[in-house]
Amino acid sequence: MGELSLEQELLRALRSAPDRSLGELADAVGLPRTNFGRPLSHRLREPVERLLAGGLVEDHHGQI
C-alpha cells in the first residue's frame, strides 16, 4: 500500500477525533514545527478548503 495523500491523512485524523484545531491536525498528520515549536498549520488551509468544497468535511462555526 502506498503513502497516503495529505487529504487522506486529514480525513483519517478528523475521523479519529473530530473537532480538532488546525494546529492539532498539523500534529496528527506529521507536519513539521517552527523553531519556536508552533505547528505549521497554515499548510493545511488549502487541503482543508478542498475537502470542504468536495463535501467530505463540514465547517461547524470555524471547526471542521
DSSP, residue by residue, 22-61:
HHHHHHHTT--B-TTS-B-GGGGHHHHHHHHHTTSS--BT
Residue 2 is predicted with a pLDDT of 53
* pLDDT above 70: residue 63: no
Q: Model's pTM, two decimal places?
A: 0.73
> If you ran DSSP here, which 8-state letter would residue 60 be given?
B
pLDDT of 6-54, one tens digit each?
A: 899 999 999 998 888 888 889 999 888 888 888 888 888 898 899 999 9
Indicate the pLDDT class of residue 61, thresholds 50, 70 and 90.
low
Give the pLDDT confidence score for residue 1 in this predicted structure.
44
